[in-house]
Amino acid sequence: MNRRVFIQGAGLITFLLSGCGLALQSSDAQTADQTSKGGDKMKITIITGSPHKNGTSALLADKFIEGSQKAGHEVFRFNAAFEDIHPCLGCDRCGMNGPCVHQDAIAKKLQPELIAADLVVFVTPLYYFGMSAQLKTVIDRFYASNVKLSGSGKKAILMATAYDDKDWTMSVLTQHYQTVVKYLGWEDIGTVLAVGCGSRPLIERSEFPEQAYQMGLKI
Ligand SMILES: Cc1cc2nc3c(=O)[nH]c(=O)nc-3n(C[C@H](O)[C@H](O)[C@H](O)COP(=O)(O)O)c2cc1C
């Protein structure tokens, strides 16, 4: 069986990784649903997952970028739906720490920015209560950089839009996001969950674009 053990520095988080899955053994990684206040200039990588260039989640991304650039942060934006990307084949040729067999936009454009980022912002429309396939494709490809990304102390934000506005509409998406962030040993510093925002007029009338802007401004 292909089995490896990684010990992470600060939190001594032990990852047991096997050919059939990933397991986390730690309670050290904590997440907070608050934005951090002030601080140094950051390198931000924002990954969007909608096929709509001027859609609802794109507006959240635009507003967040507007705020964060005003605050002086450096932003790299990767629009997964408009890039040449391929899903992970699970071939394990990367060994979780090496070049991917796919030398596409994820490997060539996103990966260096991802590794260098202080903050990673995930932006997605809600698709069947989870993230879009475009965003999931990118996250699965973290596998080739897993060793570099794990325990790298990055901060993370999730922004999402959905038609429904039930109190459980975003629960599976946020749980998935928080689990990925915890596994990687990153810190969740906030979410913008734009429920009841299934179209551009709906989100433009809502408070969520301003929330995204303020989050970008205040990180
Ligand atoms: C394939 C698909 C699945 C969707 N699934 C959900 C869903 O589970 N819950 C929901 O509230 N809205 C769902 N929606 C609506 C979108 O989340 C919503 O319209 C969103 O604002 C689209 O974001 P965008 O404009 O950034 O693409 C779905 C839309 C599509 C196309």
**Ligand 1 nearest-atom number relative to CA 55:** 25
107-149 per-position pLDDT tens digit: 999 999 999 999 999 999 999 999 999 999 999 999 999 999 9
d(CA 27, CA 153): 16
* pLDDT given for residue 40 in this prediction: 86
State which residues of the chain have pLDDT below 50: 1-38
Distance 132 CA to ligand 1 centre (A): 9
Q: Is residue 17 part of a domain?
A: no
Number of domains in the chain: 1
Q: Is residue 178 part of a domain?
A: yes
Residue 180 maps to which CATH number?
A: 3.40.50.360
Q: Is residue 21 part of a domain?
A: no
% of the chain exceeding 70 in pLDDT? 82
Q: Is residue 204 part of a domain?
A: yes
Q: Is residue 8 part of a domain?
A: no
Nearest protein Cα to ligand 1, atom 30 = 127
d(CA 44, CA 156): 10
Contact 96, 77 (CB under 8 A): no
**Ligand 1 nearest-atom number relative to CA 163:** 11
d(CA 219, CA 199): 27
Q: Which domain holds residue 178?
A: 29-218
Backbone angles phi, psi at 58, to 5 degrees: -60, -35
Nearest protein Cα to ligand 1, atom 29 = 127
